[in-house]
Amino acid sequence: MSKTSKKMTLSKKHNLTGWAFLAPGALLILFMSFIPMFRALLLSFKTGVGAAMEWCGIMNYTRMFQDAVFIQSIKNTFFYLIIQVPLMLIFALILASILNNKNLRFKGIFRTMIFLPCATSLVAYAVIFRSLFANNGIINLILVNLGILDQPYSFLTNTWSARIVIIIALLWRWTGYNMVFYLSGLQNIEYSVYEAAKIDGASAVQTFFKITVPLLKPTILLTAIMSTNGTLQLFDESVNLTDGGPANASITMSHYIYNMSFKYVPNFGYAAAMSFLILILVAILAFLQMKVGDKRD
């Protein structure tokens, strides 16, 4: 047997070994993700419940743009996206830069404290924020005692304040999560770069914008895409913190899909159609972020 034949045989063995390791995971993804997605796509073209479901074409998709509550949920979700995601990423980047300072004492404690909210249960932290901003909650107690308010304010029953409370809750929980990504990226940057900038007379602000931000660009892009994806699928805060109120003023798309599936008279076809709209929005925004953020040749 020639050397070329032996090499080809060895190469085939390596390929077969690789596919053998990949096959179990690939099959799980196929059966647990792609097949349900395909069935959900078929379901989105049907109406009714159970055995009485009938093919309705694109009726569910056209209905979405005539549904005032769903349009309101889209507006609410994009409001959270536009306000919360930039603020969260900016705070996370600033905190990571501060905690990356090698001369800072007790860095480990500070990093742990900022990251700890991520370990909190989604339901638990939403309930905690609900109690904090209740009429008899600690926030109202502090504001009244300081003389800022004459009487307790109903944060969760007023349109704009309910939305702001959700944004505050999201910032509290997810800022530390993104900070860890930035810390990881910063620790891959040679500290000598910062020392050279300091010797050249660069200020802390100049160092941040001229060194930290450009070198962390791939990580910032990653966190922006993940945060956008997560915000478009926002569910727990809307359900457990404000219950979508007042009068659907803070409801999110995922919350409304849940209501259409399990809370109201079940309409799984319509819910599936709305789910695919979220999928399309996530894909479009991720693509735009990649195009804008990734400038590699």
Summarize pLDDT for 19-78 with one digit per residue, the tens: 888 898 889 988 888 888 888 888 889 887 776 778 888 898 999 989 999 999 999 999
Q: Residue 254, Cβ neighbours under 10 Å: how many?
A: 20
Q: Tell me how far apart the alpha carbons of residues 193 and 187 are, in angstroms, rounded to a whole number.
A: 12
Q: Tell me how far apart the alpha carbons of residues 40 and 63 are, in angstroms, rounded to a whole number.
A: 17
Residue 232 lies in a domain: yes
Query: Are the beta carbons of 269 and 248 closer than 8 angstroms?
Result: no
Please report the DSSP string for 161-172 in residue order.
Answer: HHHHHHHHHHHH
pLDDT tens profile 97-146: 888 887 788 888 888 899 998 888 888 898 899 999 998 989 999 999 99
Is the pTM above the cut of 0.75? Answer: yes
pLDDT tens profile 261-287: 888 878 889 999 999 988 888 888 888
Which domain, by its residues, includes 22? 3-43
Verify that 92 and 222 share a domain, yes or no: yes
Q: Which tokens go with 46? A: 């049907």
Residue 39 lies in a domain: yes
Q: What is the CATH number of the domain that holds 285?
A: 1.10.3720.10
Q: Tell me how far apart the alpha carbons of residues 273 and 288 are, in angstroms, rounded to a whole number.
A: 23
Give the residue, 204 or 95, on which the prediction is more confident. 95
What does the DSSP 8-state code read for residue 151? S
Q: Which tokens go with 112? A: 């742990």
